Amino acid sequence: MTTLAQRKRQLVATELTEAALQLLALRGFDAVTVDEIATTAGVSKRTFFRYFASKEDVVVQFLAGMGADMRAGLAARPAGERPSEALLHTVSVPLAACEDHADRALPVVRLILRTPALHARLLEHQARWREELAQELGTRLGRDPATDLTPRLAAGMALTAFEAVLQRWSEGKGAEDPGALIAEAFTLLAPALDATTAE
């Protein structure tokens, strides 16, 4: 059970995140200061730094949440499911969340993809996600990612499809359905992904 202090801390973190993401998406990463984020959230600059090391870290936390959702999503899939099905569901979860909250998520995704420093952080996170998904896939397939390329390649293909869909969705200003785009991508990937279980 969460304490009152923990709930208050979470509330402040959420307010700061919302204020930062809205300002950064509206005006661009370089144009917004930490002072402005703190003022918009109704807290002091000192309070901001109690929660985040930098404005970049606000966006990084958004990315960390996506990765945690994917790992949990893959772990929850039925054991005998084809790799293509399991991975499609895994990367569809954050994409569906983006679509459901497109008014907030689309500007943030565009900000991440168009700001070199933030895109670099996305790629760092994707490398971590790939390792986590590879470990989970290795367990599911009975293959050790340390000695077998299959889990890492499969995780890498899924995350490449995920980023390609984010790119297309953001370039189209949210007009396209990310769920349909990821399904289309996995139609192409499925033969390769499922070949891993046909041996």
Least confident of 36-40, 128-132, 172-176: 172-176
Output the pLDDT for position 15. 84
The CATH number given to whatever domain includes residue 165 is 1.10.357.10
Domain count, the chain: 2
The CATH number given to whatever domain includes residue 33 is 1.10.10.60
CA–CA separation, 158 and 108 (whole Å): 21
Output the pLDDT for position 93. 87
Same domain, 16 and 96: no
pLDDT band for 197, please (50, 70, 90 cuts): low
Tell whether the model's pLDDT for residue 87 goes beyond 90. Answer: yes
Same domain, 46 and 60: no
Residue 108 and residue 21 in contact, taking contact as beta carbons nearer than 8 Å: yes
CA–CA separation, 135 and 162 (whole Å): 18
Query: Average pLDDT in the 87-99 region?
Result: 90
Is residue 96 packed enough to be buried (19+ CB in 10 Å), middle (13-18) or exposed (0-12)? middle
- Roughly what angle, to the nearest 10 degrees, separates helices 150-171 and 83-100? 30
Query: Average pLDDT in the 190-196 region?
Result: 88
Same domain, 98 and 181: yes
Least confident of 108-112, 136-140, 143-147, 160-164: 108-112
pLDDT band for 198, please (50, 70, 90 cuts): low
Same domain, 158 and 134: yes
Give the SS3 label for residue 43. coil
Residue with tokens 């801390």: 9
Most confident by average pLDDT, 9-18, 34-43, 149-158: 149-158
The whole domain housing 19 covers 1-52
pLDDT, tens digit (0-9, with 9 covering 90-100), for 1-14: 678 888 888 888 88
CA–CA separation, 14 and 104 (whole Å): 14
